[in-house]
């Protein structure tokens, strides 16, 4: 079967950890099975994985045959996945699609993202993301996060034909960028220094990229009809393996980035666009305040 051929140059970029070569191979095969032509697939690897304190073993031929391997000296954490494409692609119109090494993607993911980009070439497009204007505990999610469907309906996470601007991309579902969203190779230092603000930020490339692009005036959007990730295999070393710890790191990373001028404004929260849920939210806060006052002042233990 012939593949769709777009006029734009399309590259896919990712990274991996020393113990994830089998998972990476599965992801690369999924990229080669896309229904459109991909010009290049970059896999960027540092000499040593900082988080695991492990040196990368030699790559098997299967991986080398399916991708262009970019070796770098420094580990930028998960943000490493962007380095290969940003270093080796310089045409502003080039489409860069980042993927995770532990996800299985449908064969029409890349073509769906590209077709949307042809209509909206000034935004970064992702399969799923979040609005966090009322804090992460009241975030509105869209996409492949199972269990949030009803919450999204109630919180008002609505997506129009023009897409939905969001605060944070979720990179595991695949994200499309244009090379022109980022500085030239010799001016990438500002972006590449962000992971080293602290250990929490180091682990969150989604926050780094979201905060950076929004500060540059680039909108992040999700759209109807983007195909969902077919499977995600989260190993125990994955940052999202322990959900509660991931949320805490996420919150701390946002606070750290805010100190450096990022995430100082947000898109309207879904709950603010739904009058019914806004009322429910207000009532909920009143109930919490009443219960707090009751337990603090009227439920004191008797003194003897």
Strand order in the sheet with 164-165: 68-72, 40-46, 10-14, 95-98, 175-178, 123-126, 219-222, 164-165
Q: What is the mean pLDDT of the segment spanning 71-88?
A: 97
**What percentage of the chain reaches a pLDDT higher than 70?**
87
Is the pLDDT reported for residue 281 higher than 90?
Answer: no
Q: Is the pLDDT of residue 106 over 80?
A: yes
Query: Quick one: pLDDT band at residue 150, thresholds 50, 70, 90?
Result: low
Instruction: Note the pLDDT tens digit of each residue in 11-22.
Output: 999 999 999 999
299 has a pLDDT exceeding 90: no
Q: Is the pLDDT of residue 103 over 60?
A: yes
Confidence of residue 186 (pLDDT cuts 50, 70, 90): very high
- Categorize the per-residue pLDDT at 225 as very low, low, confident or very high, splitting at 50, 70 and 90: confident
Q: For residue 86, how far is the Cα from the chain centroid?
A: 17
Sketch the domain layout of the chain as residue ranges: 10-271
Helices 80-88, 205-215: axis angle to 10 degrees equals 50
- Cα–Cα dist 16/24, whole Å: 7
At residue 240, does pLDDT exceed 80?
A: no
Confidence of residue 154 (pLDDT cuts 50, 70, 90): low
CATH superfamily for 10-271 is Spore Coat Polysaccharide Biosynthesis Protein SpsA; Chain A (3.90.550.10)
Indicate the range of 62-66, 129-133, 173-177 predicted with least confidence.
129-133
- Can you tell me the mean pLDDT for 65-80? 97
């Amino acid at each position: 079967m012939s593949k769709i051929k777009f006029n734009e140059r399309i590259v896919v970029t990712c990274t991996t950890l020393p113990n994830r070569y089998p998972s990476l191979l599965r992801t690369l095969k999924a990229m080669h099975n896309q229904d459109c032509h991909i010009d290049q697939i970059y896999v960027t690897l540092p000499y040593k994985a900082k988080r695991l304190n492990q040196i990368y073993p030699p790559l098997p031929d299967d991986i080398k045959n399916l991708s262009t391997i970019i070796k770098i000296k420094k580990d930028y954490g998960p943000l490493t996945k962007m380095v290969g494409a940003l270093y080796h692609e310089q045409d502003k119109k080039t489409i860069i699609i980042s993927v995770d090494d532990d996800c299985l993607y449908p064969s029409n993911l890349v073509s769906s993202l590209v077709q949307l980009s042809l209509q909206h070439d000034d935004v970064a497009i992702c399969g799923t993301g979040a609005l966090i204007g009322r804090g992460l505990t009241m975030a509105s999610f869209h996409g492949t996060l199972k269990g949030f469907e009803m919450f999204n309906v109630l919180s008002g996470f609505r997506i129009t034909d023009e897409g939905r601007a969001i605060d944070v991309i979720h990179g595991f579902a695949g994200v499309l960028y244009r090379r022109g969203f980022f500085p030239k190779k010799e001016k990438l230092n500002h972006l590449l220094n962000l992971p080293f603000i602290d250990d929490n930020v180091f682990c969150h490339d989604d926050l780094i990229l979201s905060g950076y692009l929004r500060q540059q005036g680039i909108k992040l959007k999700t759209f109807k009809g983007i195909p969902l990730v077919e499977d995600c295999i989260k190993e125990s070393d994955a940052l999202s393996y322990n959900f509660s710890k991931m949320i805490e790191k996420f919150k701390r990373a946002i606070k750290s980035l805010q100190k450096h001028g990022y995430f100082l404004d947000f898109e309207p929260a879904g709950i603010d666009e739904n009058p019914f849920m806004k009322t429910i939210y207000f009532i909920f806060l009143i109930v919490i305040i009443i219960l707090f006052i009751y337990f603090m002042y009227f439920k004191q233990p008797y003194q003897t």
